[in-house]
Amino acid sequence: MHRALSILRSGTMVLAAAAPWVVQAQSAVPPMQAQGDVKYVCGGIGSRQSTAMQGEMRDHPFSLMFVNARGEFLAAVAVTVKNDAGTNVLSIPSSGGPICLIDLPDGRYTVEAEPQGKKRQTRTVAVGAGHRSIEFRF
Report the half-sphere exposure of 105 (CA within 13 A, side-chain side): 8
| Least confident span in 12-21, 48-57, 96-105 | 12-21
CATH of region 31-137: 2.60.40.10
pLDDT tens digits, one per residue of 53-70: 999 999 999 999 999 999
Any idea what DSSP says for residue 1?
-
Nearest to 38 by CA among 107, 90, 112: 90
**Is residue 107 over pLDDT 90?**
yes
**Is residue 121 over pLDDT 90?**
yes
Domain ranges of the chain: 1-28, 31-137
pLDDT tens digits, one per residue of 68-77: 999 999 989 9
| Cβ atoms of 113 and 125 closer than 8 Å | no
Task: Please indicate, yes or no, whether the overall pTM of this predicted structure exceeds 0.95.
Answer: no
Calpha distance 102→31 (Å, rounded)? 12
What is the residue type of 95? S
| Cβ atoms of 102 and 62 closer than 8 Å | yes
pLDDT at site 1? 52
Calpha distance 93→114 (Å, rounded)? 10
pLDDT tens digits, one per residue of 72-100: 999 899 999 999 999 999 999 878 899 99
